[in-house]
Amino acid sequence: MSGTIKKLVAERGFGFITAEDGNDYFFHRSGTADFDRLDTGVKVSFVTEPSAKGPRATNVRVAA
């Protein structure tokens, strides 16, 4: 799946992605390979996995 970083809270290690399907997905630093390269507006690719609070993004990478 692909999308764009909607909000990044770097000091707390998480953020939100707006996906091409129109949904927003939470992500955590632990689910990213490129956390230090992320910023609002950056295009990313990711996969989703279930969590207690709904689907979340993992394996988040800056899009090539």
Question: E strands along the chain, which residues?
Answer: 2-9, 14-19, 24-28, 43-49, 56-62
Asked if residue 64 has pLDDT above 90, the reply is: no
What is the pTM for the complete model shown? 0.92
Task: Name the residue ranges covered by the structural domains of the chain.
Answer: 2-62
Burial degree of 56 (CB within 10 A; 0-12, 13-18, 19+): buried
pLDDT in tens, 2-47: 999 999 999 999 999 999 999 999 999 999 988 999 999 999 999 9
- Name beta bridge partners: 44: 3, 62
Within 1-64, where are the H helices?
none
Q: Would you say 42 and 9 are in contact if contact means Cβ atoms under 8 Å apart?
A: no
CATH architecture of 2-62: Beta Barrel (2.40)
pLDDT of residue 9: 97
